[in-house]
Amino acid sequence: MKTASLNKIVALALLILLLSFIPASAAGPGVVTTQGKVKGLQLKKNTMVIHEAEYIWDSKTLFYDEKGAPLLDEKGSPAKAERLKNKDWVYIVGVSQKNKPTLIRKIYLLPKYIKKSDMHLYPFMQ
């Protein structure tokens, strides 16, 4: 009887552990998402540091505001990295690369750190 109860507890613990990985795998293999403050921004090299990890962007990287709308410059053209500054809060969707920094596919400029309880207000963070 005690062994059956122990087996049920172990099975339940394994199920909970496996279910905790679903959101990460739902984004797809190699997809990286993170929220953090920009540090070590180098516009000429297309690199930035967030949480002590290096990220890079290229001409295909898309820049958005906190509402998920494309960032535009004064002329209405798509804005690029020139809008970034050190200490800006950002949310990044990128692709991990073997032996290279993560390549940013989408970057969202945020007004501040977004708490988990407020993430529902930002659809791109779902």
Cα torsion at 107, 108, 114, 117 (round to 10°)?
Answer: -90
62-119 pLDDT tens trace: 999 998 888 887 777 777 788 899 999 999 999 999 899 999 999 999 999 999 999 9
Cβ neighbours around 19 below 10 Å, total: 9
Residue 26 scores a pLDDT above 50: no
Residue 46 scores a pLDDT above 90: yes
More confident residue, 115 or 1: 115
Q: How confident is the model at residue 3 (pLDDT cuts 50, 70, 90)?
A: low
- Nearest CA to 118 out of 35, 50, 24 is that of 35
Note the pLDDT of residue 83: 85
Amino acid at 100: K
Helix (H, G, I), strand (E, B) or coil at 65: coil
Domain count within the chain: 1
- Residue 91 belongs to some domain of the structure: yes
- Residue 24 belongs to some domain of the structure: no
Note the pLDDT of residue 25: 39
Residues 32-53 have a mean pLDDT of 94
- Residue 74 belongs to some domain of the structure: yes
Residues 43-53 have a mean pLDDT of 93
More confident residue, 45 or 82: 45
- Residue 8 belongs to some domain of the structure: no
- Residue 22 belongs to some domain of the structure: no
Residue 12 scores a pLDDT above 50: yes
- Residue 10 belongs to some domain of the structure: no
Q: What is the CATH number of the domain that holds 89?
A: 2.40.50.320
Note the pLDDT of residue 85: 92
